[in-house]
Homo-oligomer: A and B are copies of this chain.
Amino acid sequence: MTADGLSRVFAALADPTRRDMVARLAGGDATVNQLAEPYTMSLQAVYKHLKVLEEAGLVSRPPGPQPRSVRLELDVFDAVGGWIEQYRRRAEARYQRLDAVLAAMRDKDEARDQERKGHQR
Residues of chain A whose beta carbon lies under 8 Å from any beta carbon of chain B = 1-4, 6-7, 10-11, 13-16, 19, 22, 26, 72, 74-75, 77-88, 90-92, 94-95, 100-101, 104-105, 107-108, 111-112, 114-115, 118
Q: How far is the CA of A26 from the CA of B83 in the complex (A)?
A: 12
B111 touches A2 (CB 8 A): yes
Min Cβ gap A50→B in Å is 17
The number of times this chain is found in the oligomer is 2
Chain B residue at smallest Cβ distance from A119: B3
Q: Specify which of B6, B10, B19, B101 is in contact with A81 (CB 8 Å cutoff).
A: B101
A77 touches B82 (CB 8 A): no
List 29 A–B pairs whose Cβ atoms lie within 8 Å, in order of A's numbering.
Answer: A1-B104, A2-B114, A3-B16, A3-B19, A3-B111, A3-B114, A6-B19, A6-B111, A6-B115, A10-B10, A10-B11, A10-B13, A14-B14, A26-B86, A74-B90, A74-B95, A75-B91, A75-B100, A77-B87, A78-B101, A79-B104, A81-B88, A81-B101, A81-B104, A82-B104, A82-B105, A83-B104, A85-B105, A86-B105
